[in-house]
Amino acid sequence: MDEIVRVNLAATRMPLHETFARKTRIREELGRLLAGATPLITPVTTKDAFPAEAPQASVDGHGRHYWVDLMAVPFNICNRHPALAVPTGVGPRGVLTGLQIVGNAYDQASVFRVGFALEDAGVGV
């Protein structure tokens, strides 16, 4: 069985109200983290690319696809925090790399200002 299918079939399910409670907790913690320190700049992903012929690696039972998106997941869950992906170049395997700019809840303006400043400074491809 494919590693990703096996991992997803074994995933623990939880009641819907518990997922909402976790989302609320993540959103509150993210709000505290970003308070007074925005915008936050992080990589978009944790890896630039996997070779097509690479084995299906896993970390702690999670397929590799999970770990690639690890940097974007909190902001996807807490969709009140705007996140802008900016290309930064090309990685060693010829795949685009990028960073993401994350702002406080509903503060798109600061995120776009930083994105524009990076573009103006020549960051990106």
Tens of pLDDT, residue by residue over 69-103, are: 677 778 887 788 899 999 888 888 787 888 999 99
Q: What is the pLDDT of residue 94?
A: 82
**Whole-structure pTM value:** 0.70
The angle formed by the CA atoms of residues 82, 84 and 88, to the nearest 5 degrees, is 160
- Strand (E) or helix (H) holding 73: helix 73-77
121 vs 47, residue with greater confidence: 121
Q: With a cut of 60, say whether residue 105 has pLDDT above it.
A: yes
Q: What is the pLDDT of residue 89?
A: 86
Q: With a cut of 90, say whether residue 108 has pLDDT above it.
A: yes
Q: What is the pLDDT of residue 101?
A: 94
Strand 40-43 vs strand 58-59: parallel, antiparallel, or unpaired? unpaired
Phi-psi sector, 105: left (phi>0), alpha (psi -120 to 50), beta: beta
Q: What is the pLDDT of residue 66?
A: 54
Average pLDDT over residues 23-40: 86
